[in-house]
Structure 1
């Protein structure tokens, strides 16, 4: 199943158990907190780990995601009632409604087609107030992360809240012109095996900067990791900070 880790109720539980709070969440939280009591958009919010935390910190938060099963898990989290949840895409966003928008967990890479990515950026520019901030992450293609997506290097054991265990690994199935296909494999201890396939786009820093400029954003910084390292000397990431004109925010 395509994107089953976000759409299949059993795999959503695995995703939640596997993807705990980390340095990336600390970074995004700190970025948002620079605007007190901000109106925040979490686009591609998934199961709402960061979304709920931002609301608990006193922000007015909207979480948007096309996967109903992920949103159901998000709504059920303690504090989920503080968030406005929308099942859908950026096309549903209201105009000039947000001070800060975040796309986390490499959501930006799921927009494989350039035209789709351009539409999403245009929607974000429309939804942010003048001077509104956009923060997102994407993997640096120079890090060649997909080469570690194989049954040996990616093998892990996920423990579920009920004590059940899931053996999981990831296999890259195709690489072409910055586009990577892969499949997650999940073996449950009751014998069920589930697969989740997806495709990601690995854009270069120059490609990301150009796409943001075309959408009307001004790029403030591109870091290479969660401790604000230079590109190429961090975590194999692009951590992108941009804003809509004309007001220049502080990063």
Structure 2
């Protein structure tokens, strides 16, 4: 087995992650006010980022993945977005009205110190009263139990028309809520690639404490994209807070 190249991984991610109700939620939140200064932290290949720009917001998309940003820059409207390669530490002295971490980006920030620093960076760049919103899987829903070769198997058609198959296989669930898994993909030519992933599953109580410690006030935590109560939605913790 091999690991995917950066460009192949970005193309797979782009094909696998189509517009969904999560994007509708975050776009509607931004559109509550016109012409906001919006940060899309962990913007990936720019699906939501570009939609935000199309609706008139001044958008900055930040991601550490150079290949994902390169793909985002090829899409229509990319010239209307400020693209930054890096993490929240690359934001400098920006001042923003609203910051998003979508697609479970918050879970990919596994190290506790990195998570603390990310929240501190976001508070620093948000204007007083500015909004922070993000999604993360509710550990009570135990989504990782479905990350196995049978239940998680999925076929994806890439931009070039080729079809690839992928699945997850969990290798460890730690007591501190970190899930480690192998991400398998079989390419059109039969090559099988595998990458290791790690995600942090934080409880609602932990998120509220972390945000309070970083200087945020939590406005709401939903269990899904239609403002369901926690535990009654789709296994999500959708957090809306302000500085």
What secondary structure is seen at the aligned counterpart in 2 of 1:81?
Answer: helix
2:104 corresponds to? 106
Matches within 5 A, 1:136-215: 136-177=134-175, 178-215=177-214
Counterpart in 1 of 2:229?
A: 230
Equivalent in the alignment of 2:40? 42
> What is the distance in 2 between the residues matched to 1:59 and 1:193?
41
2:61 to 57, 63, 67: 63
Instruction: Work out the CA distance in 2 between the residues paired with 1:107 and 1:197.
Output: 16
Q: Do 1:223 and 1:238's aligned partners in 2 also have CA atoms closer than 8 Å?
A: yes
Alpha-carbon separation, structure 1, partners of 2:225 and 2:214 = 25
**What runs of 5+ residues in structure 1 fail to find an aligned partner?**
245-251
The structural deviation recorded for 1:35 is 2.0
Distance 2:10 2:191 in 1: 15
Aligned to 2:83: 85
Q: Distance in 1 between matches of 2:94 and 2:163?
A: 45
Structure 1 residue 161, shift from structure 2 partner: 2.2
Per-residue Cα deviation, 1:158-193 (whole angstroms, up to 9, x for no partner):
111222110111111110120100121111121222
Give how far 1:8 is off.
1.4
User: What is the deviation of 1:96?
Assistant: 5.3
Q: Distance in 2 between matches of 1:167 and 1:112?
A: 27
In structure 1, C-alpha distance between the alignment counterparts of 2:202 and 2:129, rounded to whole Å: 25
TM-superposed CA distance for 1:196, in Å, is 2.1
Following TM superposition, the consecutive aligned residue runs of length 4 or more in structure 1 with deviations greater than 3 angstroms are none
1:247 equivalent in structure 2: none
**2:187 equivalent to 1:216:** no
- Structure 1 residue matching 2:22: 3-state secondary structure: helix
Count of residue pairs the alignment pairs up: 242
By how many angstroms is 1:114 displaced?
1.6
Secondary structure (helix, strand or coil) at the match of 2:73 reads helix
Distance in 2 (CA, whole Å) between partners of 1:196 and 1:12 is 13
Whole-angstrom CA distance in 2 between matches of 1:162 and 1:96: 37
Q: Deviations over 1:207-249 (max 9, x none)?
A: 00000000000000000000100000001000000001xxxxx
Deviation at 1:95, TM superposition (A): 3.2
